Amino acid sequence: MKETKELVKKVIEGIQEKKGNNITVVDMTKIKDAMCNYFVICQGGSNTHVAAIADSVVEHVKKNLGEKPLAQDGRTNMEWVAIDHGAVMTHVFVPQSRIYYNLEQLWNDARITHIEDIF
């Protein structure tokens, strides 16, 4: 579990490095049959910003923990990029897609933590 929390921390740092905002961590460790332990959800202001944030997350985790993502999806249109690191799924949205999909509400029994923007 310590490694997973460190992975969440490095994902958040990668997001913050490119000024991703409205970061939310959804802790699903107490939910039976959840697909992963954590969702880290954030947004960028444009498709280009989403791409930069997603790249930063991948690079920051690889550099600091030596882990590559198992999979990535959404890089065609850059409105919602999902990055699968196994225990942690990172979701980077443009604002309108984030509102539409509202992932935070899928897991009502999960613990949700909002990370303050640093800029």
The share of the chain scoring above pLDDT 90, in percent, equals 87
**H or E element in which residue 112 lies:** strand 111-115
pLDDT at 45: 96
pLDDT value of residue 1: 62
pLDDT tens sequence across 22-74 = 999 999 999 988 889 999 999 999 999 999 999 999 999 999 999 999 999 99
pTM of the model: 0.94
User: What is the pairing mode between strands 71-73 and 38-43?
Assistant: unpaired
Give the residue-averaged pLDDT of 77-102.
97
pLDDT band at 110 (very low <50, low <70, confident <90, very high): very high
Q: Which two tokens stand for residue 39?
A: 């969702």
What contacts 6, CB < 8 A, 6 or more positions away?
65
Percentages of the chain per state (helix, strand, coil), in multiples of 5: 40, 25, 35
Burial 38-47 (b: 16+ CB within 10 A, else e): bbbbbbbeee
pLDDT band (50, 70, 90) for residue 2: confident
Q: Which CATH class is domain 2-115?
A: alpha beta
Where are the domains positioned within the chain?
Answer: 2-115
CA distance 106 to 48: 27
Pairwise pLDDT comparison (38 vs 108), residue with the higher score = 38
For 67, residues 6+ apart whose C-beta sits below 8 A from its C-beta are 7, 61, 85
Whether the pLDDT of residue 89 is over 90: the answer is yes
